[in-house]
Amino acid sequence: MLKSKVDPRAYAGGLLAAIAVLGLIINDLWPLWLALLAVGMVLFTISMLGHYEYQCLKCQGVYKLGAMGALASKHGRDKDGKWAISRCPHCGTVTKAKESRSNESEKV
């Protein structure tokens, strides 16, 4: 049996989000839908926090984003790899920080 490298919390978050959308379609229980969707997003975000490190372009400091930074920062990809616009905790500068996975190499 193959071992998955995906955190089980990511599966749980995705499943909760799917159940929430299904609940919105089937019933008019929007408060329950909203609560399930919020819990799903939190679980998914927490599962992704430990996997990525970012390097500041100004001071070359390496850091990880917190939960709010992971949700609020703009992410993207260009010819140099993945990036996130975030504030460096070392120098305080907002830059387009380069992403490097801390656990595994990136598949393109």
pLDDT digits (tens, 9 = 90+) for 77-96: 888 778 888 888 899 888 88
Rounded to two decimals, what is the model's pTM? 0.54
Sheet hosting strand 74-78, strand order edge to edge: 62-63, 52-55, 94-101, 81-87, 74-78
CA distance 39 to 26: 20
Give pLDDT, residue 106: 46
Local confidence band at 108 (pLDDT 50, 70, 90 cut-offs): very low
Strands 81-87 and 94-101 come out as antiparallel
Cβ atoms of 14 and 40 within 8 Å: the answer is yes
Angle, helix 30-49 to helix 8-26, in steps of 10 degrees: 160
